[in-house]
């Protein structure tokens, strides 16, 4: 085992700076070289979602010490921008996960110790409210303690900058450099919460900020008349999957005019173990088992679910047989694009310079719809921070008006009051859209089939290959390097026309992504996850029927998997 790994392990195990519980946890793995290596072979690094990892003792784990180090690095970076930046303060929010409150208070104590004011919420709040509050308070930065929809053993530390978006690549690298310069943890500055409050270095946020945020969300509604006309007869079942949405989504829907909002009771209780689901992920139908049972009992028109930190949303709608079907992130996004642009056109509120922004792994169906309305679409790398960056760019330039940003992984933002994906506004607009279509005698399933008929059958799939630990990281690097040097020229019977390597793609930050293009609308894309030990294989195709298009996608993914197995 590497000498550096052993030295780190021994220091954590024996240095009195680390608490007894931490050291007992490390003593318990003494002699287990693979476990020690996995915990200490690296420091947690910033990915698309900042720091994220398994909770536990070690430099490659989430714990109070990695939080302190990250907070000190962030404090040093903020102070490098001068006293004015430090005086603006940092907003911190957290979800319901294990140690989320403890990690929040640790980060706040470090920032206060560096004479940087913090604003912390009185309880858990959704991630997009952090983005909104940061902008509302004109703070210099923000932190969300969350691991989004990861399994219960994970937590994370997402950093936002003054525009309200997650830190962009250059800023993230600069913060990471500051974090890496914190070599001796015992030198990290901290201030107890009581002292910080007395010195006006900490302020608690509560209902007043919630109201301002909900007002901003409700301001994105387009068809209040449609909601009012369907209010009595339209039923929505909602599940927060034990997360932060429980406090705001039902309230927003009721304030919008929905009178029959039924919340799944068991999953409305915040629970760090997410005990009623295998995974608290609205991308997976299994997470909606209890909500479907409730919806069938209540004869609900729509099911909506949000992930633990309230930034991703999933929806289920009835098909022609009366069964609830999960809409994919791409399908929901395409429906929202059509609904928003159609409504704005009818209401004569569609700016001539309108812009929609999506990621490179998101379906081209939304692009096709937007083009039909004369609306520009731009692509970004995966990660909503890149969409937030485009909002900032065009606000400063003034040449385009941002309407909506979306990504295939169930993330949407409508409006510019926040700079991160927002499941609360998406839940509102999905429900509103479904109610308006119901007035026309259609379900969202009908509306989707209508889009297929008009624009073509766009279908997508995602396959993730889990490769854990140091060996897994090396394996992913080997696979990506091989594909760069020996990329295939066909998948099955389909020729690959071009290969887009985003390590050197003009107009994009360098990123470890390869996209094999059959044509503009059909492709396979490979990228390592920025938040989990996974290699992700995305595929998109367009056809004349659902079955044949899905078969083509399956063939492409199988070809890629066989190729990877040979590497």
Q: What is the largest CA-CA distance in the chain?
A: 70
Q: Which residues contact 554 (CB under 8 A, 6 or more apart)?
A: 461
Rounded CA-CA distance 108/87 in Å is 14
Rounded CA-CA distance 111/369 in Å is 46
Rounded CA-CA distance 515/531 in Å is 20
Radius of gyration of the CA atoms of the chain, in A: 24
Beta strand pairing status for 522-528 and 514-519? antiparallel
DSSP 168: P
* Spatial contact of 156 and 95, defined as CB atoms under 8 Å apart: no
CB neighbour class for 145 (10 Å; exposed up to 12, middle 13-18, buried from 19) = buried
Rounded CA-CA distance 210/345 in Å is 31
Q: Please give the positions annotated as active site.
A: 148
E runs forming strands in 153-274: 154-161, 202-205, 235-239, 260-263
E runs forming strands in 250-344: 260-263, 302-306, 313-318, 324-326
51-54: strand order across its sheet: 51-54, 154-161, 141-145, 90-94, 118-121, 202-205
Query: Is 507 strand, coil or helix?
Result: coil
Rounded CA-CA distance 32/277 in Å is 32
DSSP 237: E
């Amino acid at each position: 085992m590497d000498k550096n790994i052993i030295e780190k392990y021994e220091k954590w195990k024996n240095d009195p700076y680390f608490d007894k519980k931490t050291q007992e946890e490390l003593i318990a793995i003494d002699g287990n070289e693979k476990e020690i290596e996995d915990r200490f072979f690296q420091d947690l690094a910033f990915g698309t979602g900042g720091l994220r990892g398994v909770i536990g003792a070690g430099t490659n784990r989430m714990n109070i010490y990695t939080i302190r180090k990250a907070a000190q690095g962030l404090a040093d970076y903020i102070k490098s921008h001068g006293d004015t930046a430090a005086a603006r303060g940092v907003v911190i929010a957290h979800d319901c996960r294990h140690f989320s409150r403890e990690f929040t208070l640790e980060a706040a104590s470090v920032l206060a110790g560096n004479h940087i004011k913090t604003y912390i919420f009185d309880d858990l709040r959704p991630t997009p409210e952090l983005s909104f509050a940061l902008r509302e308070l004109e703070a210099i930065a923000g932190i969300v303690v969350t691991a989004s929809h990861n399994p219960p053993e994970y937590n994370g530390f997402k950093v936002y900058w003054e525009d309200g978006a997650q830190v962009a690549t250059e800023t993230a690298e600069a913060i990471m450099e500051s974090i890496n310069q914190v070599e001796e943890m015992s030198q990290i500055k901290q201030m107890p919460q009581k002292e910080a409050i007395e010195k006006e270095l900490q302020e608690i946020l509560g209902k007043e900020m919630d109201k301002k945020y909900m007002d901003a969300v409700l301001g994105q509604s387009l068809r209040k008349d449609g909601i009012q006309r369907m209010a009595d007869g339209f039923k929505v079942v909602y599940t927060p999957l034990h997360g932060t949405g429980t406090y705001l989504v039902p309230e927003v829907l009721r304030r919008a005019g929905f009178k029959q909002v039924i919340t799944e009771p068991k999953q409305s209780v915040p629970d760090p173990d997410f005990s009623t689901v295998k995974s608290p992920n609205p991308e997976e139908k299994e997470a909606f088992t209890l909500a479907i049972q409730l919806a069938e009992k209540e004869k609900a028109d729509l099911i909506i679910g949000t992930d633990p930190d309230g930034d991703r949303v999933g929806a289920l709608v009835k098909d022609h047989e009366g069964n609830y079907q999960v809409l994919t992130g791409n399908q929901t996004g395409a429906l929202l694009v059509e609904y928003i642009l159609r409504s704005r056109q009818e209401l004569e509120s569609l700016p001539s310079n309108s812009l929609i922004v999506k990621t490179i792994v998101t379906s081209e169906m939304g692009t096709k719809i937007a083009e039909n309305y004369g609306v520009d679409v731009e692509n970004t790398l995966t990660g909503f921070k890149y969409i937030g960056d485009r909002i900032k760019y065009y606000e400063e330039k003034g040449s385009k008006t941002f309407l909506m940003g979306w990504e295939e992984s169930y993330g949407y933002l409508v409006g510019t009051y926040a700079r991160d994906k927002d499941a609360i506004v998406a839940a509102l607009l999905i429900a509103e859209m479904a109610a308006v279509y119901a007035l026309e005698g259609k379900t969202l399933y009908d509306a989707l089939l209508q889009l297929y008929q008009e624009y073509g059958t766009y279908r997508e799939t995602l396959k993730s290959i889990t490769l854990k630990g140091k060996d897994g990281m090396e394996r992913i690097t080997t696979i990506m390097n091989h594909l760069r040097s020996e990329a295939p020229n066909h998948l099955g019977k389909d020729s690959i026309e071009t290969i887009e390597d985003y390590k050197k793609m003009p107009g994009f930050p360098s990123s470890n992504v390869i996209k094999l293009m059959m044509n503009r609308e059909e492709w396979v894309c490979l990228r390592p996850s920025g938040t989990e030990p996974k290699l992700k294989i995305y595929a998109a195709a367009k056809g004349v029927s659902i079955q044949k298009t899905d078969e083509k996608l399956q063939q492409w993914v199988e070809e890629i998997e066989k190729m990877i197995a040979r590497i």
